[in-house]
Amino acid sequence: MPIQVLGIVAAILILVLVYAIRIAKEYERLVIFRLGHLIAERGPGLVIIIPIIDRAVRISLRIVTLDVPTQEVITRDNVTCSVNAVIYYRVVDPNRAVVNVEDFRMATAQLAQTTLRSVAGQAELDELLAERDKLNQKIQQVLDEATDPWGIKVTAVEIKDVVIPQGLQKAIARQAAAERERRAVVIQAEGEKQAAKRLSQAAKILASEEGGMFVRLLRTIPEITGQPGSILAFPLPMELKHLWGGLTPKKEPGKEEQPEGEEKE
């Protein structure tokens, strides 16, 4: 009989020890309630609690990745699109995360969805497509301020994808193509303008220097002969006009040309 009693007592002690001993990992904390009252935050390592009287809630301090489902959003310029995002947060105060909110994970997820719709609805479509960093910072700021009483710290927010209607995608593609064509025309016109200025300066220099046009002509001949064709135009420069006087027969004074077929009387 005494052996049986000792066995029962030993079993009870073992159960009490198993219930009283808690081990918290490095990234965990135990929030202890004693008779319903918040006592303290314990851990990491070995934690002893009083069976039946104390209750321990285990909280992880690691960063949690929250995938926000796709939200239908109407932007400020009345464009309907679908937006999804990912949010990174962690618990910085386990006591407030347990006491101030019933389920901080569900509360943070719901708040992230409503904040994403609100911030995206206040922006225009161009901002959603081109200025995501600014929107990410705005969403993070709003979430961080709202979750601070819960002991939650939002570390980062990233908008993953923005889906717009197919017809609007084609319109944006046409707009982008027109913009690229406009830039190409402007660049070509600017190049022609600069080339015209350079050519005008070169023409002035060649005209001011004696024999300049002839030297330029000699440099142009190899380019012309390299092109397909059998006819080569070789214009004489204006600098050689003084030769025309030596090549043209001079008229004798007082002598007039007789028309052909008439005889001198």
- Supply the pLDDT for residue 117: 93
Question: What is the Cβ-side half-sphere exposure of residue 97, based on CA atoms within 13 angstroms?
Answer: 23
* Class of the domain covering 64-164: alpha beta
Beta carbons of 69 and 116 less than 8 angstroms apart: no
Q: For position 204, what pLDDT does the model report?
A: 77
Mean pLDDT by 10 residues, the chain (265 residues): 76 83 93 93 91 92 95 90 95 95 94 94 89 94 95 95 81 78 87 84 72 64 63 57 50 52 46
Length, in residues, of the chain: 265
pLDDT number for residue 265: 42
Q: Yes or no: say if 59 and 24 are a contact pair by the CB < 8 Å rule.
A: no
pLDDT at 209: 66
CB 123 within 8 A of CB 135: yes
**How far apart, in whole angstroms, are the C-alpha atoms of residue 81 and residue 85?**
13
